[in-house]
Chain A
Amino acid sequence: MITTKSVGKKRRRTLEAGIVIGLILFLLFIAPLLLTDFRLGLLGRFLALAIVALGVDLIWGYTGLLSLGQGIFFALGGYAFAMHLQLNLAGDGIPEFFGLYGVSELPWFWQPFYSLPVTLIAIVVLPGIVAGLLGYLVFRNRIRGVYFSILTQAMLVVFFNFFNGQQKLINGTNGLTTDTTLLFGQQVGSDRMQFVFYVATVIVLALTYGLCRWLTRGRFGRLLIAIRDDENRLRFSGYNPAMFKVLVFAVAGGIAGAAGALYTVQSSGITPQYMSVAFSIEMVIWVAVGGRATLGGAVLGALVVNWAQALLSEQFPEVWLFFQGALFLLVVTVLPKGIVGWFRDDAVRQIRDLLGIQPQLNTYPDLELDPDVKREQRELAGK
């Protein structure tokens, strides 16, 4: 029994790896041939958003922490990369916008971002540390459920206010543009660099998928699910859920940071609007549409919803908000498991119900319908 089970598991894993590798190859080699540059740029941005959706799935789908503040970490990653690019462009001087506000000396926290390796580490580690710290302060007190959600939303507003208000430190409302900046001597906005970032996004997405798959498998994954389903029971079995929550929240923060950096360079810059309340809640709805607690669902949801948004708001800009609102309502009331979960669990049965086809039952609701009873009745009648 055990051996057949593990063989089946192994086969499933090979199949999954095959599908993932196939999709990566498709995105890297075939998609660029099929799509125009504009559409490929869109796809790259949506893939970056799919990365942050994986992080949201990790904390919400698996651990049950509904964070409405992932935009903080997303934007921190984006700002870190944009600061490096701005410094690159400025060379020995300081970035141009400082002149507008009469700042002549570089603020101290810009200094580390001169070096590329430090920046690349900071993109992931900085949001991770911020998330870990905030998470520690909240989870330590057993604040959870909707309180956690409200607090993360308030944190988001606070970070937004800070970045929006500090012209002299970080260029305030205008944000940092990356289009005209240089990386490896190339202009970031050029087609070639954009393709490089597209490839990088695909690779990071695949790595993140692997990381999340590794985390959610095995003991750690089961602990996360246990926190989601019954935290008290887990605590009574001798675990400290707070530490696991801090850890997974920090990991999701780091993932969001990487996604933010990749998204920033592909959409010509970063503004504090990345920390708007609406954007962070949208991240949650991508996961809900795709199917929470399914990693494929998170990626699928991010791509489908954003693609729909791009198409719909091109055609009818007014309709999109109605549509998005309806999406929130529908996914919560009608499709709580998301697309992937629905296909996995309910699709066949529900379509059959809708068409009014009676299912084949293995047990019989009525004694009269049992074939054995029927046969017996026939035999009795024949006698």
Chain B
Amino acid sequence: MLDGLINGIFNGISIGAVLLIVALGLAIVFGLMGVINLAHGELMMLGAYTTYVVQNGFKSFGDGAQDFYILAALPLSFLVAALVGLALERSVIRLLYGRPLETLLATWGVSLILQQFVRSVSWAMTFGLLVVCLLLFGGRAALSKLANLGPRQKLANFVVLVLSAGIGVTLGRSLNGNDALAKPWFSARNVDVTAPSWLQDSISVTDTLSFPAARLFIIALTIICLVGTFWFLNKSAWGLRIRAVTQNRDMSACLGIPTKRVDALTFALGSGLAGIAGCAVTLLGSVGPNLGSNYIVDAFMVVVVGGVGKLVGSIVAALIIGIVSYILGSGTLVLMLPSSEAIQPLIDTATFFATTSMAKVLVFALIIAFLQVKPAGLFPQKGRSVEV
């Protein structure tokens, strides 16, 4: 009975830790910048695929190296996701500050593109894309250097865009004829990442109680990420700037803080954390193009329940949601209730919701009920500027 309870709480905490590591980057981007990033799940997916690639690279080094790929995969996932996030911020999100609903739609578009990208990326496609980028940016730079077109500049840029896209697509399609070049890198099927052997064991505490090492690793990783983020935001110079811009953008700009660089940095940080989350969830299941969409809605719920702009809110919310959904979904509640006639309806209800997907239904109902009491979440921002 006690073991069952401890086991339940441990599993709940480990679900909460996964939720939290996914929601952490989201909370930073949403809380600090007011940007809804629906592509967050796809940035996670990129992190997961990076882990897959790193693992395959380490395989070629031999068996000894295989066990330590995760130590290289974690920073690389962070880096890949952060760079993609940076590019995303510079190209799209920069144009949409102050228009949160539009940002939401645009990032959804990005997530569709990224999903299809990992399904069909191949050497032919990579070459094609590289050629497009080279021609486009080279052509534009050359145009603006060499000729002064005045009002026809826009038209010229448009022509360069169409031409370079045309050339790139033609090249990509012609390269597609070669089978070796046209073969997709990952294809639409899920790929598997094998956890290092030291993460496949369980650590047993008593005879009946044992904790899987992978879950403990994720909990530890979440704590490290939390501490790191907390340190960065509260103790470093750039963290200070980020907090200043969050509180008052105009005044920060007046005082000489480069707000655009701060935005880019914040977004890259949030995206990088998504990459780490992606690396972490490879320990739990296989990696596929839809990996991110399984987590994104739950992660948003964590942010909403926790209250925007406070990391501690996200922590508490993730743990509560994790524990409640595990206890409901695994049927632990049914086992813990004493069986007596008086509470039979309660037991029936608990049994009805005792699957993972039905537990989600009940947890969401509880969230809606909770928001009736505290509409702004557990730890709302105080002050006059909280209107969103």
Contacts and interface: CB of A to CB of B under 8 A. Distances in A.
What DSSP secondary structure best describes chain A's contact surface? helix
B297 A141 contact: no
Contacts of B49: none
A146 B96 CA distance: 14
Contacts of B342: none
Contact of A354 (B92, B158, B300): B158
Contacts of A158: 360-361, 364-365
A310 B51 CA distance: 36
Given A149-B36, A154-B300, A277-B297, A321 B360 contact: no
B113 A325 contact: yes
Contacts of B258: none
A137 B388 CA distance: 18
Contacts of B115: 321
Contacts of A232: 387
B108 interface: yes
A247 interface: no
Contacts, number: 128
A145 B36 CA distance: 11
B358 interface: yes
A143 B154 contact: no
Contacts of A318: 116, 119-120
A157 B297 contact: yes
A322 interface: yes
B105 A325 contact: no
A35 B71 CA distance: 61
Interface string B353-374: 0010110110011011001100
Nearest to A64: B101
A164 interface: yes
A27 interface: no
Contacts of A353: 151, 154
A150 interface: yes
A328 B116 contact: no
Contact of A161 (B100, B150, B358): B358
Contact of B109 (A137, A153, A324): A324
A50 B108 CA distance: 21
Contacts of B158: 354
Interface in A145-167: 145-147, 149-151, 153-155, 157-158, 161-162, 164-165
Interface in A325-347: 325-329, 331-333, 336
A341 to B, nearest CB: 14
A157 B296 CA distance: 11
A324 B372 CA distance: 37
B96 A137 contact: no
Give the interface residue-count category, chain B: 35 or more
Contacts of B120: 318
A164 B110 CA distance: 28
Nearest to B38: A281
B293 A277 contact: yes
A150 B105 contact: no
Interface string A156-189: 0110011011000000000000000000000000
Contacts of A355: 152, 155
B292 to A, nearest CB: 12
B95 interface: yes
A142 interface: yes
Contacts of A153: 297, 300
Contact of A325 (B101, B102, B116, B375): B116
Interface in B203-234: none
A171 to B, nearest CB: 15
B333 interface: no
A164 B360 CA distance: 12
B106 interface: yes
Interface of B: 34, 36, 92, 95-96, 100-106, 108-113, 115-117, 119-120, 150-152, 154-155, 158, 293, 297, 300-301, 304, 355, 357-358, 360-361, 364-365, 367-368, 371-372, 375, 387-388
